[in-house]
Amino acid sequence: MKIVSLTTVALAVSFLAISKPVLAHHGRVEYENRSVTLRGTVTKFEWSNPHVVISFAVKDDKGNEREWYAEVLPPSQMSRAGWTSQSIKPGDQVTLIGRPGKKGEHILWLEYLVTPDGQKLGRERETP
Per residue in 94-110, pLDDT (tens digit) is: 999 999 999 888 999 99
* Residue 54 lies inside a defined structural domain of this protein: yes
Distance of CA 60 to the CA centre of its chain: 23
Tally the domains of the chain. Answer: 1
- The confidence score (pLDDT) of residue 104 equals 80
- Whether the bond between 50 and the residue before it is cis, its omega within 30 degrees of 0, is yes
- The confidence score (pLDDT) of residue 12 equals 47
Largest CA distance in the chain: 73
Domain containing 59: what range? 36-122
Task: Check which CATH number belongs to the domain holding 78 and give it.
Answer: 2.40.50.140
Residue 25, SS3? coil
pTM: 0.75
Count of positions (residues) in the chain: 128
Residue 48, SS3? coil
- Burial classification of residue 98, based on how many CB atoms lie within 10 Å of its CB (0-12 exposed, 13-18 middle, 19 or more buried): buried
* Residue 87 lies inside a defined structural domain of this protein: yes
* Residue 105 lies inside a defined structural domain of this protein: yes
Distance of CA 35 to the CA centre of its chain: 15
Residue 25 has phi, psi (to 5 degrees) of -75, 120
